[in-house]
């Protein structure tokens, strides 16, 4: 296995990881490397193709892909090394990380290790929804990847499960995909986004908002054909649809932290891994603040041993 050494290794090249890397370079840290398992760095915004990014950190109003591109370019310009298609598989004893990439395995020794692996929406399995397992079921993130990165056909009639900020992102994405949203369903008594988002989107997209209701079964064999829902009075009904989007209900991407030795002083967590869930610009601003503590740790850390 190849071995290497850096001052800081950041796992995850989303807004938090890249903002932290850029700040570390500005603070004078020499070797800063970011690894990301995807073919391109940038994190979730890469495929979140709508406006709403960059206000608090870059003081601009940008689409997700433009925001991601801007961070990647700024990181490269200030000398951050970015390794894509590179998955961190283990954090060992707070001093090294094992990586797997198409070119082979690598063990990287670092004075500081930063976990910036983000968060994901709970999918159908994690929500324990009974019924068949047909095609046509997405989270907002997987919907956006399917549409914007893989250019797949999505469907014709959708139901969105959940009613938080990201649910309105799903609504816009479905509209881009020319899929009619029939209903937005939440088990809460009201949506948890800003009121304007709900009112405006209902006016534009004309969907039913169904609160205090849960999805109890998915129908269809090869492809989704509908769902059964139940309101808080116990009354059930069905909706015919070929697409279901599970939105929000976040879970931190914590597997690496859970299986590794991360209780040492040299391991840090930033971004939505430990904040779920904040907007990208909030993650970036807080990651920049965290960089100061990381830089202090690096400055006082002993030199890395050879080997």
Collapse the DSSP code of 71 into the 3-class scheme (helix H, G, I; strand E, B; otherwise coil) and give the result: helix
> 87 or 225: whose CB is closer to ligand FAD?
87
Residue 306 · residue 52 · CB < 8 Å: no
Report the residue from 82, 154, 166, 174 that binds ligand FAD according to the rule CB under 6 A.
166
Handedness of CA 300, 301, 302, 303 (dihedral sign): negative
Report the residue from 266, 279, 291, 295 that binds ligand FAD according to the rule CB under 6 A.
279
> 251 or 293: whose CB is closer to ligand FAD?
251
> 75 or 226: whose CB is closer to ligand FAD?
75
Give the interface size with ligand FAD as a residue count (CB under 6 A): 36
Where in 129-158 is the site for ligand FAD (CB under 6 A)?
140-141, 144
Residue 205 to residues 96, 174, 183, 238: CA-CA distances in angstroms? 50, 10, 10, 21
**What strands, in cross-sheet order, belong to the sheet with 243-246?**
137-139, 243-246, 157-161, 180-185, 208-210
Stretch that binds ligand FAD, among 69-77, 122-130, 197-205, 279-287 (CB under 6 A): 279-287
| Distance of alpha carbon 300 from the chain centroid | 32
CB 223 to ligand FAD: min, Å: 23
Contacts for 141 with CB less than 8 Å, ≥ 6 apart:
44, 47, 120, 121
Q: In this structure, what token pair is assigned to residue 287?
A: 């990651």
Strand partners, 119: 252
> 100 or 202: whose CB is closer to ligand FAD?
100
Does 278 participate in binding ligand FAD (rule CB under 6 A)?
A: yes
Angstrom distance (rounded) from CA 58 to CA 52: 12
Q: What are the backbone dihedrals phi and psi of residue 238, each rounded to the nearest 5 degrees, phi first?
A: -120, 150
> 95 or 279: whose CB is closer to ligand FAD?
279
Stretch that binds ligand FAD, among 2-10, 192-200, 208-216, 272-280 (CB under 6 A): 272-280
Report the residue from 76, 84, 85, 87 that binds ligand FAD according to the rule CB under 6 A.
87
Does 193 participate in binding ligand FAD (rule CB under 6 A)?
A: no
Does 88 participate in binding ligand FAD (rule CB under 6 A)?
A: yes
CB 59 to ligand FAD: min, Å: 13
Where in 7-66 is the site for ligand FAD (CB under 6 A)?
11-17, 35-38, 43-45, 48, 52-53
Running DSSP on this structure, what letter comes out for residue 147?
I
Residue 25 · residue 78 · CB < 8 Å: yes
Query: Residue numbers of the site for ligand FAD (CB under 6 A)?
Result: 11-17, 35-38, 43-45, 48, 52-53, 87-88, 116-118, 140-141, 144, 166, 169, 253, 256, 271-272, 278-281, 283
């Amino acid at each position: 296995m190849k071995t290497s050494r850096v001052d800081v290794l950041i796992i995850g090249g989303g807004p938090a990881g890249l903002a932290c890397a850029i700040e570390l370079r500005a603070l004078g840290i020499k070797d800063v490397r970011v690894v990301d398992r995807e073919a391109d760095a940038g994190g979730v915004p890469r495929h979140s193709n709508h406006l709403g990014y960059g206000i608090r950190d870059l003081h601009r109003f940008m689409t997700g892909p433009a925001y991601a591109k801007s961070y990647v370019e700024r990181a490269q310009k200030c000398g951050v090394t970015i390794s894509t298609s590179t998955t961190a598989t283990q954090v060992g004893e707070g001093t090294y990380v094992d990586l797997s990439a198409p070119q082979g395995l690598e063990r990287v020794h670092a004075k500081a290790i930063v976990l910036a692996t983000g968060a994901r929406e709970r999918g159908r399995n994690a929500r324990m929804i009974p019924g068949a397992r047909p095609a046509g079921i997405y989270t907002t993130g997987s919907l956006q990847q399917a549409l914007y990165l893989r250019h797949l056909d999505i469907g014709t009639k959708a139901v969105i499960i959940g009613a938080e900020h990201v649910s309105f992102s799903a609504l816009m994405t479905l509209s881009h995909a020319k899929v009619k949203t029939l209903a937005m369903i939440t088990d809460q008594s009201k949506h948890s986004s800003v009121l304007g988002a709900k009112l405006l989107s209902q006016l534009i997209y004309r969907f039913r908002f169904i609160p205090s209701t849960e999805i109890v079964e998915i129908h269809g064999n090869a492809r989704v054909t509908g769902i059964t829902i139940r309101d808080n009075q116990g009354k059930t009904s069905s909706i015919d649809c070929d697409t279901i989007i599970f939105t929000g209900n976040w879970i931190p991407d914590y597997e690496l932290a859970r299986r590794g030795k991360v209780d040492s002083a040299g391991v840090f967590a930033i971004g939505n891994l430990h904040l779920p869930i904040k907007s990208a610009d909030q993650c970036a601003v807080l990651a920049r603040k965290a960089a100061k503590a990381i830089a202090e740790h690096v400055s006082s850390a002993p030199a890395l041993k050879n080997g």
